[in-house]
Amino acid sequence: MAEAAVAKKPATTTGEAQEELTDGFHLVIDALKLNGINTIYNVPGIPITDLGRMAQAAGIRVISFRHEQNAGNAAAIAGFLTRKPGVCLTVSAPGFLNGLTALANATTNCFPMILISGSSEREVVDLQQGDYEEMDQLAIAKPLCKAAFRVLHAADIGIGIARAIRAAVSGRPGGVYLDLPAKLFGQVMNAEAGRKSLVKVIDAAPAQIPAAAAVKRALDVLKSAKRPLIILGKGAAYAQADDDIRAFVEKSGVPFLPMSMAKGLLPDTHPQCAGAARSTVLKDSDVVMLIGARLNWLLSHGKGKNWGEPHSKKFIQVDIEPKEMDSNVEIVAPVVGDIGSCVSALLAAMGDKWPAAPADWTGAVKAKREENITKMAPKLMKNTAPMDYHGALGALRTVVKERPDAILINEGANTLDLARGVIDMYKPRKRLDVGTWGVMGIGMGFAIAAAIETGKPVLAVEGDSAFGFSGMEVETICRYKLPVCVVIFNNDGIYRGTDVNPAGSDPATTVFVKGSRYDKMMEAFGGVGVNATTPDELKRAVDTAMDSGKPTLINAVIDPASGSESGRIGNLNPQSVLRKK
Ligand SMILES: Cc1ncc(C[n+]2csc(CCOP(=O)(O)OP(=O)(O)O)c2C)c(N)n1
Ligand SMILES: [Mg+2]
């Protein structure tokens, strides 16, 4: 158990033994340390400034950000990478709300995270008498996260933190809110009683073993397939069951399609990878096995023309959440359990005589994939100025190939969709991106946490708009001297930099200042800034940054005309029937 910090209370009357005391501040820190939480992502202020200071003094790494949303995103992705809840610490009302976006996003993406916010006086808040930063934070957080708790007494801190940890990581992981009122921190109690009140969470995410009958049913369906497909989602990446997942996919011989954050679970260059034949496999498959992937909008809900409707596909789904089954289409073989336990059970039940996947199908997928890769190749070699997306991404693809351990962060529209297709990943959990919501603003928070949690070099490939949502954190990157290289695909705007406002003098809604030099922002904080106008220059600059580990920002000048509206999802835009084209 961690050594609880204590204070000696002076004797009140002569001869009385000194009582060892602790307080709310120390109990929170001791409870976190006892549970192996060694990093806090933080923005200081009343009432948690001293908590951050004291946590740092007690050996917890406290990383202070410029905005809570970025600290929250950092905590969320730390949770994804480590399977321990990432902790974000904020002040009350506005700080809490800033962190809440990240908490909701973490919950949607099934990342385990705890948002700890200080809050104002309960009595004043509940009577709505206008306290400093008054807000009923617990009530507001509840619908946006997996669980929400408030601790009113120092003696309950241990239990409160234990509940938060369990809620975040057990079952389907998600975001948890923990409300700590200002008064709690100064509450004093006997140190020994305080120590005893702490809880070390045992087996925080217990294995959930699938039923043998469910495993057999799934394998029977898979075996009956003529054109089987396996789809790996980020739940499979989270599971850290990398060897078993690879063994299962390889033993099955079935083509696999990785969702974007599952890329690298098996290398994108693996002979069974169907990433470059995505539309073919979705359309033509007859049995689809989902492993830690949901049939949400990212997979067109499992129906419609992308799936070759009318079809009679059969779906097998492996997921920890029973309610996920039949959420969009019928699941003929649900396998409910944690991904690690499920995949190892599937692997064991396959036995030694598992038949090879039908050769006409695997051959057809391979042919399509090679055709598409060949079509793409010349686009990736264009060395022009200004660059187009493919030319710039061709350079970055080589950088990642040469550094498979580096972590790639990616957000934007064209910058995201094209990078996802072009940049091959080779190892698990190396690609972190906008996830289920397609949210902008994860960039610098994810980059910082990825560097802190893994110690590996980080390459953040950012649209110029996407970067703007968290751009101030380049100061944080410089302050902590993190090995982060940010590449901004600067096309002067959102989707394209060429829009014109037909009605007046204001700029069009999607364009930014032309010819901006984002590299100068990095120089302002002592980092390295580079302006790159060709793929060769870009490659050289990224190589230098990745080798040196110095905080670097490269302004990659992209032709403003080369993107398309909303990247690959322009079809989701509603259309006005009245608007004249
Ligand atoms: C929080 C949030 N706000 C707004 C959006 C809408 N949106 C989607 S992509 C995008 C920016 C795209 O521009 P950029 O990052 O420059 O990428 P590009 O297509 O130009 O390469 C925006 C604002 C969003 N996804 N998330
Ligand atoms: Mg842009």
Residue 495 in contact with ligand 1 by CB distance below 6 A: yes
Closest CA to 400 of 417, 419, 387, 381: 419
Per-residue model confidence (pLDDT) at position 269: 98
Q: Which of 416, 422, 433, 440 to mutate to test the pocket of ligand 1 (most atoms within 8 A of CB)?
A: 440
Q: Which of 418, 495, 558 to mutate to test the pocket of ligand 1 (most atoms within 8 A of CB)?
A: 495
d(CA 253, CA 163): 42
Atom of ligand 1 nearest to the CA of 418: 21
Give the count of beta carbons closer than 10 Å to the beta carbon of residue 57. Answer: 12
As given in the structure block, the two tokens for residue 46 are: 């009343």
Portion of the chain with pLDDT greater than 90, in percent? 93
Residue 567 in contact with ligand 1 by CB distance below 6 A: yes
Of the pLDDT bands very low, low, confident and very high (cuts 50, 70, 90), residue 18 is: confident
Are the CB atoms for 192 and 250 separated by under 8 Å? no
Are the CB atoms for 32 and 88 separated by under 8 Å? no
Does residue 310 have a cis peptide bond before it, meaning omega lies within 30 degrees of 0?
A: yes
Residue type, 213: A
Are the CB atoms for 85 and 176 separated by under 8 Å? yes
Residue 30 has, within 13 A of its CA and on its CB side, a CA count of: 27
Atom of ligand 1 nearest to the CA of 441: 1
Sign of CA pseudo-dihedral 471, 415, 447, 74: positive
Give per-residue pLDDT as tens, 188-221: 999 999 999 999 999 999 999 999 999 999 999 9
In the predicted model, is pLDDT for residue 15 greater than 90?
no
Of the pLDDT bands very low, low, confident and very high (cuts 50, 70, 90), residue 12 is: low
Q: Which of 490, 494, 512 to mutate to test the pocket of ligand 1 (most atoms within 8 A of CB)?
A: 494
SS3 call for 55? helix
Ligand nearest to the CA of 563: 1
Residue closest by Cα to atom 25 of ligand 1 = 439
Residue 441 in contact with ligand 1 by CB distance below 6 A: yes
* Strand pairing class (528-532; 188-190): unpaired
Residue 233 in contact with ligand 1 by CB distance below 6 A: no
Residue 562 in contact with ligand 1 by CB distance below 6 A: no
Residue type, 520: K
Q: What's the gap in Å between 533 CA and the centre of ligand 2?
A: 15
Q: What's the gap in Å between 494 CA and the centre of ligand 1?
A: 6
Q: Does the predicted TM-score (pTM) go above 0.85?
A: yes
In the predicted model, is pLDDT for residue 1 greater than 70?
no
Of the pLDDT bands very low, low, confident and very high (cuts 50, 70, 90), residue 401 is: very high
Name, in order, each residue with C-beta under 8 angstroms of 181's C-beta and a sequence gap of 6 or more: 118, 119, 120, 121, 122, 150, 151, 152
Residue 391 in contact with ligand 1 by CB distance below 6 A: no
Q: What's the gap in Å between 268 CA and the centre of ligand 2?
A: 26
Whole-Å CA distances, 234 to 40, 181, 189, 239, 580? 24, 35, 44, 9, 42
Give per-residue pLDDT as tens, 451-473: 999 999 999 999 999 999 999 99
Q: Which of 461, 462, 465 to mutate to test the pocket of ligand 1 (most atoms within 8 A of CB)?
A: 465
Q: What's the gap in Å between 577 CA and the centre of ligand 2?
A: 27
Residue closest by Cα to atom 8 of ligand 1 = 413
Q: What's the gap in Å between 490 CA and the centre of ligand 2?
A: 6
d(CA 75, CA 73): 5
Taking each helix axis as running N to C, give the angle between helix 24-34 and helix 157-169, from 0 to 180 degrees, rounded to the nearest 10: 40
Burial class (CB in 10 A: 0-12, 13-18, 19+), 192: middle
Per-residue model confidence (pLDDT) at position 6: 55
Residue closest by Cα to atom 6 of ligand 1 = 440
d(CA 109, CA 130): 35
Q: What is the dihedral of CA 247, 251, 252, 255, to 10 degrees?
A: 70
Burial class (CB in 10 A: 0-12, 13-18, 19+), 15: exposed
Residue closest by Cα to atom 7 of ligand 1 = 440
Beta bridge pairs of residue 149: 178
Closest CA to 182 of 15, 397, 13, 25: 25
Per-residue model confidence (pLDDT) at position 223: 98
Distance of CA 325 to the CA centre of its chain: 23
Residue closest by Cα to atom 20 of ligand 1 = 495
Cite the beta strand spans of 325-425 per DSSP E: 333-336, 407-411
d(CA 321, CA 429): 21
Atom of ligand 1 nearest to the CA of 494: 13
Atom of ligand 1 nearest to the CA of 567: 19
Residue 436 in contact with ligand 1 by CB distance below 6 A: no
Closest CA to 370 of 280, 244, 302, 495: 280
Sign of CA pseudo-dihedral 108, 232, 234, 567: negative
Q: What is the mean pLDDT of residues 249-253?
A: 98
d(CA 472, CA 475): 6
Are the CB atoms for 76 and 86 separated by under 8 Å? yes
In the predicted model, is pLDDT for residue 537 greater than 50?
yes
Q: What's the gap in Å between 510 CA and the centre of ligand 2?
A: 9
Residue 413 in contact with ligand 1 by CB distance below 6 A: yes
Q: What's the gap in Å between 179 CA and the centre of ligand 2?
A: 38
In the predicted model, is pLDDT for residue 358 greater than 80?
yes
Residue 463 in contact with ligand 1 by CB distance below 6 A: yes
Per-residue model confidence (pLDDT) at position 309: 82
Q: What is the mean pLDDT of residues 58-62?
A: 98
Q: What's the gap in Å between 96 CA and the centre of ligand 1?
A: 24
Q: What is the mean pLDDT of residues 115-135?
A: 94
Burial class (CB in 10 A: 0-12, 13-18, 19+), 397: middle
Per-residue model confidence (pLDDT) at position 299: 97
Ligand nearest to the CA of 415: 1
Q: What's the gap in Å between 228 CA and the centre of ligand 2?
A: 38
Residue 465 in contact with ligand 1 by CB distance below 6 A: yes
Residue 491 in contact with ligand 1 by CB distance below 6 A: yes
Burial class (CB in 10 A: 0-12, 13-18, 19+), 499: middle
Q: What is the mean pLDDT of residues 520-526?
A: 98
Beta bridge pairs of residue 88: 41, 115
Q: What's the gap in Å between 176 CA and the centre of ligand 2?
A: 33
The least confident of 16-30, 247-261, 399-413 is 16-30
* Strand pairing class (113-119; 61-64): unpaired
DSSP 497: S
Closest CA to 147 of 138, 156, 155: 138
As given in the structure block, the two tokens for residue 82 are: 């480590």
Atom of ligand 1 nearest to the CA of 413: 19
Residue 415 in contact with ligand 1 by CB distance below 6 A: yes
Are the CB atoms for 221 and 287 separated by under 8 Å? yes
